[in-house]
Amino acid sequence: MTPTENASLQSQDPETLNCIMFRLHERLYGITRTQPYELAQSNKIVPIRGVPDFIRGAMIWKNSVVPVVDLKRCLNIPDDTSSVRESIIIFQSYENGEMLELGILVDSLQAEVTISAHDIIPLTAPREEGVLGTIETEKGVATLVDLKSLLLHQWYNQ
């Protein structure tokens, strides 16, 4: 996608947000989406030495090397061996005219939904960095995550 197409993904109404819903350790999460994404089946993820713990490694996707982030590590969720992670959400973003790609490891992709910003219930006591709050969806209550804030917090606190 071009940067112009990328910009068109942002909701026309500033009061609504496009979200990708997914599961981690049987809990429902959502990521606000302003950039294109694709779903990739879990390819072989190659560990990378010297990177922060939340970066699981890298994979080859469409002839590109894509870093893969483990959101369970970012959100302090125990790594449950009975949970089979089968999906990687590949986000694409344009920075300084170049397309950047990042893979997010999830247990399962649930849906893409549009929500009202007014329906987000902010967290009250100690707020986790990168967590916007919760939202009621058809699939249940979801924790809404700001991916960029979460990753920046993880990067600078490793």
Contact 62, 84 (CB under 8 A): no
**CATH 2.40.50.180 for domain 3-156:** yes
User: Where do the structural domains in the chain lie, given as residue ranges?
Assistant: 3-156
In angstroms, rounded to a whole number, what is the distance separating the alpha carbons of residues 34 and 120?
Answer: 17
Please choose, from the candidates 77, 130, 72, 154, the residue with its C-alpha nearest in 3D space to the C-alpha of residue 105. Answer: 72
Contact present, 16 and 27 (Cβ < 8 Å):
no
pLDDT in 10s for each residue of the chain, 158 residues:
333 333 334 445 668 888 899 998 889 999 987 777 888 876 788 999 999 888 999 998 888 899 999 888 888 888 766 556 678 999 887 777 877 888 988 888 888 888 888 898 887 765 667 788 899 888 889 999 888 777 776 776 76
Under DSSP, is residue 102 helix (H, G, I), strand (E, B) or coil? strand
Place of tokens 């990378």: 48
- Residue pair 91/35 in contact (Cβ under 8 Å)? The answer is yes
pLDDT at 124 (0 to 100): 73
